[in-house]
């Protein structure tokens, strides 16, 4: 799957991305709980970029340049920009 194929509120069976830049992790608290979240920019094989949300300890798994695979992920939209994440049931794997 490529970024050009994504649309808001879409389930992602599998996508491979490369981390372009990773932001600083920050704490969050909401009615559904609290934890850590980190924003990153990622690109696909065609070089198209998308915003990536890393939840919990995921930000410790990746660095700029890391190649990752998200399985059973989710696409959301914030201020008109697509955001990819593992959602509640997905997994993030760092590829070698």
Burial class of residue 51 (count of CB atoms within 10 Å of its CB; 0-12, 13-18, 19+): middle
User: In the chain, how many domains are there?
Assistant: 1
φ and ψ of 57, to 5 deg? -85, 0
Q: Is the dihedral of CA 71, 56, 79, 29 positive or negative?
A: positive
CATH number at residue 66: 2.40.50.140
Residue with more model confidence, 94 or 32: 94
Per-chain mean pLDDT for the chain: 96
pLDDT score at 16: 98
Please count the other Cβ atoms lying within 10 Å of the Cβ belonging to residue 86: 21
Tell me the pTM: 0.92
Please count the other Cβ atoms lying within 10 Å of the Cβ belonging to residue 56: 13
């Amino acid at each position: 799957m490529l970024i050009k194929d994504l649309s808001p509120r879409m389930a992602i069976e599998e996508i491979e991305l490369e981390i372009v830049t990773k932001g600083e992790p920050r704490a969050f608290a909401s009615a559904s709980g609290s934890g850590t979240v980190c924003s990153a920019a990622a690109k696909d094989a065609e070089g198209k970029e998308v915003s990536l949300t890393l939840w919990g300890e995921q930000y410790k798994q990746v660095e700029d340049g890391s190649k990752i695979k998200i399985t059973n992920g989710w696409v959301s939209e914030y201020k008109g920009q697509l955001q990819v994440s593992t959602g509640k049931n997905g997994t993030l794997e760092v590829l070698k």
